[in-house]
């Protein structure tokens, strides 16, 4: 079997995701974008069981997958689903003194994610997760033709 594309092209996929996230979130630098993305991923992961989180992580490009599981405390029970306001507040609380994630950080990260993965694959994973997951990664008013991986 040949090496999976996501490992061979990990840097290209990551840079494409980060550029999409920076544009969608509206952060001024890739450093601030990184913090916003990390916060969004943690806010989502904190509401899943370990198996659910691993199921979701399998969908992600290699570097994003690594960021999703980094510094994970497996002994903590999942948080309640919460609302977009909760997810945003939790995202903004990560490294509070260095975090400038705007109120649109969850939506922006969701848009960047949807530009990094295949629609059908994401839908299949979200269908296995708690109902809040589909809302967490939803984007509205976006032409579906603009979504999906651009690094293939």
pLDDT at 6: 76
113: its two tokens: 């994610």
> How high is the mean pLDDT of the chain?
93
pLDDT at 19: 96
76, with CB counted inside 10 A (0-12, 13-18, 19+), is exposed
Q: For the segment 120-132, what is each residue's pLDDT rounded down to a tens digit?
A: 999 999 999 999 9
pLDDT at 152: 54
Whole-number Å distance between alpha carbons of 146 and 63: 22
Residue-range domains of the chain with CATH? 7-71+78-140 (1.10.490.110)
Q: How confident is the model at residue 79 (pLDDT cuts 50, 70, 90)?
A: very high
Q: What is the DSSP string of 19-72?
A: HHHHHHHT-SSHHHHHHHHHHHHHHHHTTS-HHHHHHHHTTS-HHHHHHHHTT-
For residue 151, pLDDT over 70 is answered with no
pTM, whole model, 2 decimals? 0.93
Is residue 101 within 8 Å of 92, Cβ to Cβ? Answer: yes
pLDDT at 16: 95
């Amino acid at each position: 079997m040949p090496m999976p594309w996501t490992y061979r092209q990990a840097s290209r996929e990551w840079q494409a995701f980060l550029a999409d996230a920076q544009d969608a979130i509206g952060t001024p630098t890739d450093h601030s974008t990184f913090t916003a993305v990390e916060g969004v991923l943690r806010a989502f992961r904190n509401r899943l069981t370990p198996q659910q989180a691993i199921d979701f992580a399998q969908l992600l490009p290699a570097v994003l997958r690594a960021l999703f599981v980094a510094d994970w405390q497996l002994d903590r029970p999942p948080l309640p689903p919460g609302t977009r306001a909760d997810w945003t507040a939790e995202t903004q609380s990560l490294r509070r003194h260095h975090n400038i994630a705007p109120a649109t950080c969850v939506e922006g990260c969701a848009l960047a994610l949807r530009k990094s993965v295949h629609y059908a694959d994401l839908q299949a994973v979200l269908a296995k997760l708690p109902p809040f997951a589909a809302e967490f990664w939803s984007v509205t008013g976006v032409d579906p033709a603009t979504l999906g991986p651009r690094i293939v």
